[in-house]
Structure 1
C-alpha cells in the first residue's frame, strides 16, 4: 500500500496472549476458547477487541454505549494484544478491531490472502510515535528539539537507571520501538530505559514534570497526557517509505498514519446494523482525547465517560447510525 505505516506498539511473541471476555457476569479466560457471542448467527450481540491503551478503550466505550443504547445490541469486549487480536478477528472470536496502528504482514495474510478480515475504514484519528521533551525544557533550550543536539544534553538527561548516559524513557518492554537501533545508528549517548507499562511511564513523566526536571521520552499521539504535561517533539531524520524496513539499520523518524478499523469478514457481510455502525464510526483526535481524559484523569469509568460524551455530541454520533 502507498500510505505510510506506523510501527505496531506491541511485539509479536511466540507465547499465547491471554484474552479476557468482559461481560456483566464477570470475566472469562479466553486463551483456549472462543467467545460464545462473537459471530453468532442471528444473535444481536457484538464482540469488540480492546487494547490496553486508553485511546483504544475510549473508542470501544463509545461504540459499546451506542450499540447498546441506540441499536439494542449486547456488547462484549475482549482484551487482547495487537497481533493476537488479528488471529482472534480472523477466527471470529471477536467481530471488530477499532484502532489498528498498522500491521502490513497481518493485512496481507488475512485481508489479501485469506479474506477472513475486511477493512472497516479509517477511525478518523492519525497516530504518531516520536521522541519528546517537556515544553518547559524546550523553551529553555530550543536546540534540543533537533536530534543532532541531543548529545549536548545527555548529562542533564542522565538518571540512575541510564548507566552514565542520557535516558530515553520507553514504556513496556513488549512495545515494538526502533529506539535502541536509533540510538546506535545516530551515535547518541543515550540508554533506552523501560518504565514497564504505559501507566508506569505516565507516572514517571508526571513526576519529572512535578519537579520541573528535563526528560526525553518515547511517546505517541493521540494521548491525553499532552493536555496535562505539554511536550515538544524532537525532530529525528525525516521518515521516508522503507526507511524502517530493516529494524537494525533504521535511522529515521516514525511515520504519521491514519488509524484503521477492521471487521471479521463474515460479520462485515452479515452483521446488519452493528457492522454498518462500526464502519460509519469515525471521530476526531479531540473527541478521543476528551473521552480518554475522563477515563484516565478524571476517574470516570469507561461507560460513564462514553455516556457523558454521547450526551454532548449528538449531531456527531447520529451520523454513524445506519438508516
Structure 2
C-alpha cells in the first residue's frame, strides 16, 4: 500500500499544552463560564484502530481542552475497552457502532458502570462489499444466494476452491465466521491485521479490477469514492443473533446480515460527578457521515496529517462545536 492510502499508526499520547495552543489559534470565543474545569483530573478518551474513530475523538478532545480540561488519549481495543470503562481507568469512548458493538454496549450498561451518552449523528453500515465491475462476473449479486455460485471467482491460493472473504481485524467482532457457517457459504474468512491493511488490499484489487469481497464500512471515504455494492443478506433482526430458530438455518444464529444504524458515545458512569460539564458536552456532540467521510479521505487518501484535518474542521465549524458546550 502506498503512503497516500496509509492509515496512521495510533499511539497513546498526552498532548501537553494542546489546550493553550488551540485556544491561541482557532478556538477563541467559547463560553467563558466553562474555561475553569471542575477538577484537574484528566479525561481519558479511547483511541481505537481506525482513522474515523480517532478523528471523532480528537474533535471532541479539542473541544474539551478548550473548556479547560486536560485530555489524555489512550489506545484501546474496540470491544475490550469496555473493561476499562467499567473500572474508570478509561473515561469515554466516542464510537460504539450498532453494527458490531450493540451487544457489548448493552451488557456494559447493565452493570451500571457504563453510561450511554447518546448517538453521535453518524449512521453506521458495515458489511460484505464488492466493486461494481464484479457484478458482470457474478450476475446474481447483490443477492447473497449468488455467492456460492461465484465462490471460486473470489478464491485465493490459501482458500481455493472456496472463496475468500477479507474481514476486518478480529478485534472488531462482526460474526463473519459464524455467518459463513450459518448460511452455508463456500467461503473462508481471512481477517486483516489492521484497518490500513484492509483498505490497502481493497485498493490494490480495485486498481487492478481484480474480484474481491471484503468488509467495507460507512462513514468512510471508500464507499464515497469507489463504485461498489454491499451484498444483500437476510435483513437483520435481534432474533437472528439471539434465536437459532430464526431465519433460513433453524439450528444456528447469525444467518442474516449485520445490523446497521447508530454510532453512540459511552462513558464511565462515575465520571458524571467528576466532570459534569464535559459529560454534557459529549452528549451534545453531533457529526454527519459526510463530515466524517470527507475528513477520513483527507487523511487516508490525500495524506493530510490527522491533527491538521481535525484542526481545520474545528476552525471551519465553530458554531457547531461551540453549541456542544453547556452554558452556565
Q: Shorter chain as normaliser: what TM range?
A: 0.7 to 0.9
Give the corresponding residue for 2:76: 80
Q: 1:236 aligns with which of 233, 236, 242?
A: 233
Paired with 1:181 and 1:312, the residues of 2 have a C-alpha distance of: 44
Paired with 2:215 and 2:269, the residues of 1 have a C-alpha distance of: 35
Paired with 2:205 and 2:270, the residues of 1 have a C-alpha distance of: 48
Report how many residues are paired.
Answer: 289
Give the corresponding residue for 2:299: 295
Contact between 1:65 and 1:303, CA under 8 Å: does it hold in 2? no
Give the corresponding residue for 1:131: 128
Deviation at 1:44, TM superposition (A): 6.1
Deviation at 1:315, TM superposition (A): 2.7
Q: Does structure 1 residue 201 correspond to structure 2 residue 205?
A: no
Q: How does 1:127-276 map to 2 (within 5 A)?
A: 127-138=124-135, 142-245=139-242, 248-276=252-280
Deviation at 1:128, TM superposition (A): 2.3
Paired with 2:89 and 2:11, the residues of 1 have a C-alpha distance of: 11
Deviation at 1:146, TM superposition (A): 0.7
Deviation at 1:61, TM superposition (A): 1.5
Give the corresponding residue for 1:10: none
**CA shift in 2, pair 1:286/1:83, >3 Å:** same
Paired with 1:175 and 1:246, the residues of 2 have a C-alpha distance of: 22
Paired with 2:175 and 2:87, the residues of 1 have a C-alpha distance of: 31
Structure 2 residue ranges without an equivalent (≥5): 1-9, 17-36, 245-251
Q: Does structure 1 residue 309 correspond to structure 2 residue 307?
A: no
Question: Which secondary structure state, in structure 2, belongs to the residue aligned with residue 303 of structure 1?
Answer: helix
Q: Which runs of 4+ in 1 moved over 4 A?
A: 102-110, 139-142
Give the corresponding residue for 1:32: none
**CA shift in 2, pair 1:207/1:246, >3 Å:** farther
Give the corresponding residue for 1:118: 115
**CA shift in 2, pair 1:274/1:174, >3 Å:** closer
Q: Does structure 1 residue 45 correspond to structure 2 residue 42?
A: yes
Question: Which secondary structure state, in structure 1, belongs to the residue aligned with residue 63 of structure 2?
Answer: helix
Task: Output one character per residue of 1:195-227: Cα deviation in whole Å (capped at 9) or x when no partner.
Answer: 322211111111101101121112222222223
Paired with 1:207 and 1:276, the residues of 2 have a C-alpha distance of: 43
**CA shift in 2, pair 1:149/1:108, >3 Å:** closer
Structure 1 residue ranges without an equivalent (≥5): 1-18, 26-39
Contact between 1:62 and 1:303, CA under 8 Å: does it hold in 2? no
**CA shift in 2, pair 1:233/1:186, >3 Å:** same
Question: Which secondary structure state, in structure 1, belongs to the residue aligned with residue 313 of structure 2?
Answer: helix
Deviation at 1:64, TM superposition (A): 1.6
Contact between 2:79 and 2:171, CA under 8 Å: does it hold in 1? no
Paired with 2:140 and 2:319, the residues of 1 have a C-alpha distance of: 44
Contact between 1:144 and 1:153, CA under 8 Å: does it hold in 2? no
Question: Which has the larger helix fraction?
Answer: 2
**CA shift in 2, pair 1:75/1:193, >3 Å:** same
Give the corresponding residue for 1:321: 325
Paired with 2:108 and 2:180, the residues of 1 have a C-alpha distance of: 34
CA RMSD of aligned residues (A): 2.5
Contact between 2:241 and 2:254, CA under 8 Å: does it hold in 1? yes
Deviation at 1:293, TM superposition (A): 1.8
Paired with 2:180 and 2:84, the residues of 1 have a C-alpha distance of: 35
Q: 2:93 aligns with which of 97, 111, 121?
A: 97
Paired with 2:141 and 2:318, the residues of 1 have a C-alpha distance of: 43
Paired with 1:181 and 1:72, the residues of 2 have a C-alpha distance of: 46
Deviation at 1:322, TM superposition (A): 1.5
